[in-house]
Amino acid sequence: MLCFSCISTGSLGVIQTCGEYKGLQEPGCSCICFPITTVKQVSLAVQQHVCKTDCKTQDSVTVRVMTAVQYQIRRDLVKAACFDIESPLSQIEAEVDSVLRTTLPGMTLDESYQAKEKMVELILASVQEAMKRYGYDIIKVLITDIKPEGSVLAAMNNIIAQRRRREAAVEKGEAEKFLKVKAAEAEAEAKRLAGVGMAGMRLATAHGLLNAMQFFKDTGMTNIEAMQMMITTQYLDTLKDFSRHTSVVVPHVHATGTGESQAQREASLSEAPQQMLDMQDEGALCQAPEPPWEMEDGERLPNSGTSGKTGKTVRKKKRKVKKGTALCDCGENQENQL
């Protein structure tokens, strides 16, 4: 039976007659006598095969390595690729597994991540050497992933996270230390400048007082009068400062020659009840009795409370209250020395 055979671009057709290799068919359409003659299409394009290899590292971690092998059938060795090897992909996987299971057990998990390039070179050299005689050209080998078990991966992530937190804590501490040092330096500089300002203020105050005293002397005042004038001025300034923040009632009597402290004492004593003094002079103020009682003839009245007995008439002695004497609640006289 006459049939048509079509070969795609990028491929070759392997012609067999009664099972015997007869040659190659180029891309295009041709006539064959089927079923005596058959044509098998072989792709010459670059292909990729992914190998999955399970192995164990030096620190007893089981990992799965994903290796991508890119290969191409050589045009001049199509016959060998078709008839000399039955399962080329299995052969490639075996070579990759052999190299990885020889290399990884001598590395830790962290070292395996760093040794990818080394393992790629070993795999490429081994697979090329094994497949080149079968017409397979190994173009490139890539290790796309080294994947440990889920628990191991979670532990690794936790270790990395803790390490990052520790580094962040160190950086945060350094930043806080830097801020505190700068704050301390700023505070020290502020105190130094405040001290300079205070010294300048006191120096200016001293010069001002010196000039004021000299001015008072030039006007004819004595040193005592000038000092009293300055004290009075400072006292009034203090009252004004008090009034800015809160309401303060301060008894005030202007005094000259006696001093502010004595003037304030006089202001307090000047408000003693004059009415009490007037009543004392008129004899209308009765003091509370204070023991012991005195009789008219100088004898003491016995303290016994015997009923039926009466003592002699007792007359209370009056004590004269001097002006400026204050009476306490118990009736005793207390004289405040002015």
pLDDT at 183 over 60: yes
CA distance to 177, 227, 277, per residue, from 169 (Å): 12, 64, 82
Sign of the alpha-carbon torsion through 166, 167, 172, 178: positive
Residue 73 DSSP SS3: strand
Name the residue type at position 287: Q
Q: What is the pLDDT of residue 72?
A: 92
Structure pTM? 0.48
Q: Could you tell me which residues come within 8 angstroms of residue 105 by beta carbon, excluding any fewer than 6 positions away?
A: 55, 56, 57, 58
**What digits encode the pLDDT tens for the residues 134-174?**
989 999 999 998 888 888 888 888 888 898 999 999 999 99
DSSP calls for 237-249: HHHHHHHHHS---
Query: Does the pLDDT of residue 66 top 90, yes or no?
Result: yes
Give the count of beta carbons closer than 10 Å to the beta carbon of residue 222: 10
Tell me, what's the pLDDT at 307? 41
In the chain, at which residue ranges do the beta strands (DSSP E only) sit? 2-7, 11-17, 20-25, 28-33, 37-43, 47-56, 62-73, 136-148, 325-327, 333-335
Whether the predicted pLDDT of 269 surpasses 60: no
Taking residues 285-294, what's their average pLDDT?
A: 43
Cα angle 98, 101, 105 (rounded to 5 degrees) comes to 155
- Asked if pLDDT for residue 70 goes beyond 90, the answer is yes
48, 70 contact by CB (below 8 A): yes
Residue 29 pLDDT more than 70? Answer: yes
Contacts of 30 (CB under 8 A, 6+ apart): 4, 5, 7, 13, 39
- Boundaries of every domain in the chain: 2-43, 47-148
CA pair distance 27, 23, nearest whole angstrom: 13
Return the pLDDT at 60. 84
Confidence of residue 291 (pLDDT cuts 50, 70, 90): very low
The pLDDT score that the predictor gives to residue 95 is 92
In the predicted structure, residue 242 carries a pLDDT above the cut 50: yes
Adjacency order of strands within the sheet including 136-148 = 47-56, 62-73, 136-148
Predicted local confidence at residue 285, as pLDDT: 40
pLDDT the model gives residue 32: 77
The length of the chain in residues reads: 338
Nearest to 122 by CA among 35, 209, 53, 195: 53
Best CA proximity match to 254, nearest among 233, 238, 240, 273 = 233
* pLDDT at residue 305 tops 80: no
pLDDT at 282 over 50: no
Closest CA to 57 of 169, 152, 155, 181: 152
Q: pLDDT over 90 for what percent of the chain?
A: 25
Between CA 258 and CA 232 the distance in angstroms is: 12
Give the mean model confidence (pLDDT) for residues 224-252: 75
Q: Which CATH superfamily is domain 47-148 in?
A: Band 7 domain (3.30.479.30)
Of 28-37, 116-125, 240-249, the poorest mean pLDDT is in: 240-249
How far is residue 334's CA from residue 328's CA, in Å, rounded to a whole number? Answer: 7
| 3-state SS class at 186 | helix
